[in-house]
Structure 1
Amino acid sequence: MSIHIVALGNEGDAFHQDNRPSGLIRTYLGRSPLVSGDESSLLLNATSTVARPVFTEYQASAFGNVKLVVHDCPVWDIFDSDWYTSRNLIGSADIIVIKYNVNDKFSFHEVKDNYIPVIKRALNSVPVIIAAVGTRQNEELPCTCPLCTSDRGSCVSTTEGIQLAKELGATYLELHSLDDFYIGKYFGGVLEYFMIQALNQKTSEKMKKRKMSNSFHGIRPPQLEQPEKMPVLKAEASHYNSDLNNLLFCCQCVDVVFYNPDLKKVAEAHKIVLCAVSHVFMLLFNVKSPADIQDSSIIRTTQDLFAINRDPAFPGASQDSPGNPPLRVVVKDALFCSCLSDILRFIYSGAFQWEELEDDIRKKVKDSGDVSSVIEKVKCILKTPGKINCLRNCKTYQARKPLWFYNTSLKFFLNKPMLADVVFEIQGTTVPAHRAILVARCEVMAAMFNGNYMEAKSVLIPVYGVSKETFLSFLEYLYTDSCCPAGIFQAMCLLICAEMYQVSRLQHICELFIITQLQSMPSRELASMNLDIVDLLKKAKFHHSDCLSTWLLHFIATNYLIFSQKPEFQDLSVEERSFVEKHRWPSNMYLKQLAEYRKYIHSRKCRCLVM
């Protein structure tokens, strides 16, 4: 490896020029500890080169084994007489040094005006050093102040040198003498830095060329492309609160009617919803006994606010359901009764919109004391047994977490006979449930219980085609808006049940569960599992789970090498097989290239090295 330096210009005094080799370059090469060869050998090399007499050529070794070639040209006329040679030398240079004497201003301006533009056009992104040599006349110490004009008439100022360096993007140096400090440490340090940079660049380029040459010998290893992105499934937003809130206005499956003290009908409601949020209503409807609650304030609130009327001759009794009439509850407090519709709407919406409740009560009750009294009674209704109720704490906690998720929520009544008004018969066993929740959460059951169907008048309803575990998971979702299948098989069964009852959000939950489970399986588990992925695909298509079926097709294609070895792979339809083959990963092209590359590598290993 070699470094080529081109030095241009004469650092000697214009009035005392001779034919000696340039002092700056020769002095550096003779004194630098990084350059091997004494001064006499350098001079011998310089005088023995006559191919281009206008140049003085130096050859030496730098950094031990790096060949250093320096072409020193003190005469600028070469750019006029032999432009081709000078252009080639500049184009092949790794470092360019431009020298001038600070006391030869005429020559400096001639070079700057005539030759520097030519050099700029010939430069090829190589480092340039501008060396201003000598001490300015009539000065013991050189003045570098831009405001100093004492030597501007005959000397090249520092400002002019710096301006020239800026034009060329060069490094500017002032060498007041050719001693060890200025030559060895100052000029030599900068020059050696650029020499190291040139060596690093050449080494990098050499490595790139070697890699390129190696890559073109023989067959390249194939590049495995990334598999196609899997379809993204978006979960459906929950409408749990709105379903239960709408139950209050649809007036279906009503099993409790509230009356004012004058025995006029005020509002209708559902025991299951009221008991889910209040121990007062649990006590009122005999879901719990006073011994179970053990809170005197709840017992007192129940006795002070409500009374159950079981008189069959009650004047406001409904005749719609003579076999199972709604329970009649008289509200003793007239002020509380006047706001009962707003309070029920507050409870059905989740019992956490306190500001709206207060605004609604103020519209009906003008006195602020009465408003506070009604709010206090609502607070007592929602009180948790054994805890001191504070309105501020009640608001804060319930605003953070609606009452549907309390320990007294609807899950408390799941698969329990308390307040149940319908029983499902599944696989020889019975599962109690509550019509109000089923009607609010499932449109198919709402039509079934309110239409001209047998189920509308029957308490015992048989269920076919679904296991008890699956149906309980289905009811769990209706009651709590969440479910957790035990595995992929149960999730698929639950998806089928959700499709049968047209509960789309539960379908999406099951789809996401199946996808998450399959994505989390490592390849080894996919290869050894007993789950029939093709059967899963066919069930998803049959039950109109388009998102899951599309995803499963992509999943089979992405794991082609695993599923293509399984016997159920042959059960794919022609259309499905075509899709999988088109989107398979890795592709056929990659496998062919890989086989060729392996064959090539094997042939190279088996080749006789002696031959």
Structure 2
Amino acid sequence: MPKMDNEQPHQELVKCVLVGDTAVGKTRLICARACNKHVSLSQLLSTHVPTVWAIDQYRIYKDVLERSWEVVDGVNVSLRLWDTFGDHDKDRRFAYGRSDVVLLCFSIASPISLRNCKMMWYPEIRRFCPDVPVILVGCKNDLRYMYRDENYLSYFGEKGTFVRAALKSDLVMPDEARAVAKELGVAYYETSVFTYFGVNEVFENAIRSALIARRQQRFWMTNLKKVQKPLLQAPFRPPKPPPPEVTVMVGNYRQDIYNMFLSQAYTDLVLVGAGGTKFAVHRFMLAAASSIFQRLLSTELTDMGGRSSSESSMVSSTFGEATIADFNDDTEALIRYESRTQRMWEHLKRRSSYQALPLMESKRSNDLYRELHHPVLQSIRLVHVENHRGVNGLQTIVTLSKLISPQALHQCLRFIYTGTIDKDCDNIEEIREAADLLELPQLTQLLSRPQTVMENSSDEPNPHICLRIKESMERHCIGDGCFSDVTFELDDGLMKAHRAVLVGRCDVMRAMLLGDFREAHSNVIVFPGVTIYTFHKLLCYLYTDQIPPISAVKCLNLLELANRLCLPRLLNLVECRVIEDLTLISQNETNETVDHCLKLLEPVKLHNAHQLAEWCMSYLCVNYNLICKFSLKGLKALHQDNQEYLREHRWPPVWYLKDYDYYQRCLNELNKELKLKTSRRESPSDDEGCLCFTGGKSKRSADVSGTTDNSNADNQIFNSAGNSLNHIDLEADMDLNL
């Protein structure tokens, strides 16, 4: 069994020493390469404890030794990493001994560590290792974009953290580090153990540097002939920042609608059940949920039997659109009306059969009454009542048969308003029969599957059932204006609504319609500055708690209205819809989304749509280059603070564009050199004649000069300031849209 720590045949052993200030990331870099260790952000930001990675781990741990083996340009190499303390007064003479390459490390977030590389560390290296190749390594290059990351900054708000967050003024840019490397005559690479950028690359090129230096001393070794010069490192492009998340605040839609049922505000229909139990409800709610009530309440009384034309016109106006303010009255008004009857009439009413009650009450001259030949609906009656404001109106009373118990009727009404039933109810079969009789298909479908009954009896209703109910409300209440009692005069037309929903779902509407304002007594309310398109979206939200898709071009009026009416959830929903529309437009690969964002950025802030403004700002930062190419006029129209923010947070950042431009120019120069060498090899020799006499002195001189050139090229791999891969002066600044 071969020894684990011995050099194997046909294998090159490379000793790589890492030096630099303390806390620059030397040990982390060694662990990332030798142990393949990945670290989290919390580990990186923990309080620094000076440590040194022990070199004897290659002898103790087999996996560490196996990871040291690597094939570079066809050469088997065993890379041995040596860690050192960062204290300036330590004696590192033993670590430098017999080293093949030295990595001079500094932190991207510490300009002082870079200055010490020039003033202290490089002279020390040259004192102990005058001929050893040196590579300048910038560690923690992820901090160039993470210094303003919210997740990164969150770690510094905790108590007990002794690490200071990196600031923009602390960062060392690539051109600054490259200038120091040029002054020292060494190559420059960057790494990050967090993103693992450049970890393997820097050590591979360190091996190449060591092997090239070894090839100069052992020119007879054929296995080192194919070793390349250190390769050019592509610049690190920061990851594209994700768009900000848009949250929608939780609404109280179901509770608001249920409170509308409990408060009995603006009710215009009374259901009289078995035992004289009365439920004050709203006609538009029952018509939207139940087909039988939709047919009943939409049919004129003249179609149910004989009636004079005057009575027919009166009933038609009653069941059509409301023309009197506060047409929908409370149950209390009906109770006050009935309390004025004589005691003998109350005694007879309690003793009489429930089926005969409507006939006896219909004898009043001001009432409109009809019997209904239906197993559930017995009669319908219209009565004149007076509300708390002293305004006379009409109330509809529908008497039900004894087939539906008051408990089952209450659960059916609860389902109509909220989409749920009481979780404590135990008469499921009775409720299902009542749902069949009242033609409530959603409730019937729910109760036909017992396993879903308890799920829907909880506080959260079934989403599919709620969707069906909301679609029905939108179709009947918003689209048709069924049984509306108020009309809004808008800029481009009229729209009808129901006071009960407006009061129950919007506090501003509640104050306007219930307070001592003119709108509380008006049949038509003037609403200036609002269009039908905008008001329709508002009604969709009030009735269904959702809004249909919205175009980014038409969103400002709705945002302004939502902000004026103090509806933050509607504001969030509009933001989501607009972002969906902008995201869809951005897939066309045009600058249309950029133009929309430039136009929306500042106006939406005025209406407190901060999430939409943040999304627009993020999109503009990511597409800053498109702005400079196609929408420069719109950019200059923004406020100066917004322009400065976009320049500061643009992606890719300016330092990357400069570094990428430098990288491209390096590649172009390398390609030119490669083409020049290829053309020289393919050109014919100037000495023509007998082959026996060619290649003499001229050939020997060419070989000598070639050897000298190669030797000089190898010596200048890290020292050349003109042809090095990492040292091409930035003489011409390109147009980077800065």
Superposition TM-score, scaled by structure 1 size? 0.56
Aligned pairs for 1:75-90 (under 5 A) are none
Amino acid at match of 1:328: I
Partner residue, 1:445: 509
Amino acid at match of 2:267: V
Moved more, 420-429 or 334-343: 334-343
Deviation at 1:588, TM superposition (A): 0.9
Q: Does 1:233 align with 2:246?
A: yes
Work out whether residues 415 and 433 of structure 1, in 8 Å CA contact, stay in contact via their aligned partners in 2.
no
Q: 1: distance between equivalents of 2:570 and 2:374?
A: 38
| 1:577-608: CA deviation from partner (whole Å, max 9, x where unpaired) | 22222211111111111222233333444555
What SS does the aligned partner of 1:414 have?
helix
Q: 2: distance between equivalents of 1:442 and 1:460?
A: 18
Q: Which stretches in structure 2 are left out of the alignment for 5+ residues?
A: 12-55, 79-200, 210-226, 305-370, 457-461, 681-708, 710-738
Partner residue, 2:284: 272
Work out whether residues 582 and 593 of structure 2, in 8 Å CA contact, stay in contact via their aligned partners in 1.
no
| 1:65-107: CA deviation from partner (whole Å, max 9, x where unpaired) | xxxxxxxxxxxxxxxxxxxxxx9xx9444399xxxxxxxxxxx
| 1:323-363: CA deviation from partner (whole Å, max 9, x where unpaired) | 4343334455497347655553343222x42654x34xx7x
Amino acid at match of 1:229: P
CA gap of 1:243–1:288, structure 2 versus 1, over 3 A, is: farther
Q: 2: distance between equivalents of 1:341 and 1:203?
A: 86
Deviation at 1:545, TM superposition (A): 1.0
Amino acid at match of 1:336: S
Work out whether residues 354 and 395 of structure 1, in 8 Å CA contact, stay in contact via their aligned partners in 2.
no
Please point out which of 583, 595, 617 is paired with 1:553.
Answer: 617
What SS does the aligned partner of 2:235 have?
coil
Amino acid at match of 1:589: W
Aligned pairs for 1:136-147 (under 5 A) are none
Please point out which of 386, 389, 395 is paired with 1:326.
Answer: 395
Please point out which of 568, 578, 583 is paired with 1:504.
Answer: 568
Partner residue, 2:653: 587
CA gap of 1:581–1:523, structure 2 versus 1, over 3 A, is: farther
What SS does the aligned partner of 2:589 have?
helix
Deviation at 1:533, TM superposition (A): 1.8
Deviation at 1:305, TM superposition (A): 3.9
Work out whether residues 305 and 333 of structure 1, in 8 Å CA contact, stay in contact via their aligned partners in 2.
no
What SS does the aligned partner of 1:324 have?
strand
Partner residue, 1:344: 413
Q: 2: distance between equivalents of 1:327 and 1:168?
A: 89
Work out whether residues 380 and 389 of structure 1, in 8 Å CA contact, stay in contact via their aligned partners in 2.
no
Q: Does 1:598 align with 2:655?
A: no
What SS does the aligned partner of 1:402 have?
helix
Please point out which of 402, 412, 418 is paired with 2:482.
Answer: 418
Aligned pairs for 1:256-271 (under 5 A) are 256-259=269-272, 266-271=278-283
Work out whether residues 559 and 585 of structure 1, in 8 Å CA contact, stay in contact via their aligned partners in 2.
yes
Aligned pairs for 1:158-307 (under 5 A) are 203=75, 205=77, 208=204, 212-213=208-209, 220-259=233-272, 266-286=278-298, 304-307=376-379
Amino acid at match of 1:279: S
CA gap of 1:327–1:220, structure 2 versus 1, over 3 A, is: same
Q: 2: distance between equivalents of 1:537 and 1:199?
A: 54
Please point out which of 353, 358, 364 is paired with 2:421.
Answer: 353
Deviation at 1:202, TM superposition (A): 6.7
Q: Does 1:436 align with 2:495?
A: no
What SS does the aligned partner of 1:253 have?
coil
Q: 2: distance between equivalents of 1:544 and 1:93?
A: 70
| 1:257-292: CA deviation from partner (whole Å, max 9, x where unpaired) | 345688x78332211112221123223323699999
What SS does the aligned partner of 2:495 have?
strand
Q: 2: distance between equivalents of 1:465 and 1:498?
A: 13
CA gap of 1:390–1:445, structure 2 versus 1, over 3 A, is: closer
Partner residue, 1:35: none
Work out whether residues 274 and 281 of structure 1, in 8 Å CA contact, stay in contact via their aligned partners in 2.
yes
Amino acid at match of 1:232: E
Q: 2: distance between equivalents of 1:532 and 1:432?
A: 33
Work out whether residues 289 and 440 of structure 2, in 8 Å CA contact, stay in contact via their aligned partners in 1.
no
CA gap of 1:389–1:228, structure 2 versus 1, over 3 A, is: closer
Work out whether residues 491 and 531 of structure 2, in 8 Å CA contact, stay in contact via their aligned partners in 1.
yes
Superposition TM-score, scaled by structure 2 size? 0.47
Deviation at 1:450, TM superposition (A): 1.5
Amino acid at match of 2:395: P
Q: 1: distance between equivalents of 2:302 and 2:476?
A: 18
| 1:195-230: CA deviation from partner (whole Å, max 9, x where unpaired) | xx9999974549945985599758643221113333
CA gap of 1:478–1:290, structure 2 versus 1, over 3 A, is: farther
Q: 1: distance between equivalents of 2:376 and 2:585?
A: 60
| 1:40-60: CA deviation from partner (whole Å, max 9, x where unpaired) | xxxxxxxxxxxxxxxxxxxxx
Q: 1: distance between equivalents of 2:378 and 2:640?
A: 69
Deviation at 1:528, TM superposition (A): 4.9
Q: Does 1:405 align with 2:461?
A: no
CA gap of 1:301–1:215, structure 2 versus 1, over 3 A, is: farther
Work out whether residues 6 and 95 of structure 1, in 8 Å CA contact, stay in contact via their aligned partners in 2.
no
| 1:467-500: CA deviation from partner (whole Å, max 9, x where unpaired) | 2222222222322333222522234443333223
Amino acid at match of 1:600: C
Deviation at 1:303, TM superposition (A): 5.9
Amino acid at match of 1:572: L
Q: Which stretches in structure 1 are left out of the alignment for 5+ residues?
A: 8-86, 97-122, 127-166, 170-193, 293-298, 363-370
Please point out which of 2, 6, 9 is paired with 1:94.
Answer: 9
Q: 1: distance between equivalents of 2:233 and 2:72?
A: 28
Amino acid at match of 1:239: N
CA gap of 1:600–1:372, structure 2 versus 1, over 3 A, is: closer
Q: 2: distance between equivalents of 1:231 and 1:474?
A: 26
Partner residue, 1:576: 642
Deviation at 1:537, TM superposition (A): 0.7
Work out whether residues 256 and 504 of structure 2, in 8 Å CA contact, stay in contact via their aligned partners in 1.
yes
Q: 2: distance between equivalents of 1:466 and 1:285?
A: 32
Please identify the structure whose Cα radius of gyration is greater.
Answer: 1
Q: 1: distance between equivalents of 2:555 and 2:260?
A: 28
| 1:477-525: CA deviation from partner (whole Å, max 9, x where unpaired) | 3223332225222344433332232222222122122223334555873
Partner residue, 1:137: none
Partner residue, 1:392: 448
Please point out which of 510, 527, 541 is paired with 2:591.
Answer: 527
Deviation at 1:421, TM superposition (A): 1.0
Partner residue, 1:377: 434
Aligned residues: 412
Q: 2: distance between equivalents of 1:531 and 1:290?
A: 60
Deviation at 1:125, TM superposition (A): 7.5
Moved more, 485-494 or 564-573: 485-494
Q: 2: distance between equivalents of 1:515 and 1:405?
A: 26
Work out whether residues 485 and 491 of structure 1, in 8 Å CA contact, stay in contact via their aligned partners in 2.
no
Q: 1: distance between equivalents of 2:291 and 2:583?
A: 44
Q: 2: distance between equivalents of 1:218 and 1:335?
A: 86
What SS does the aligned partner of 1:379 have?
helix
Partner residue, 1:110: none
CA gap of 1:211–1:227, structure 2 versus 1, over 3 A, is: farther
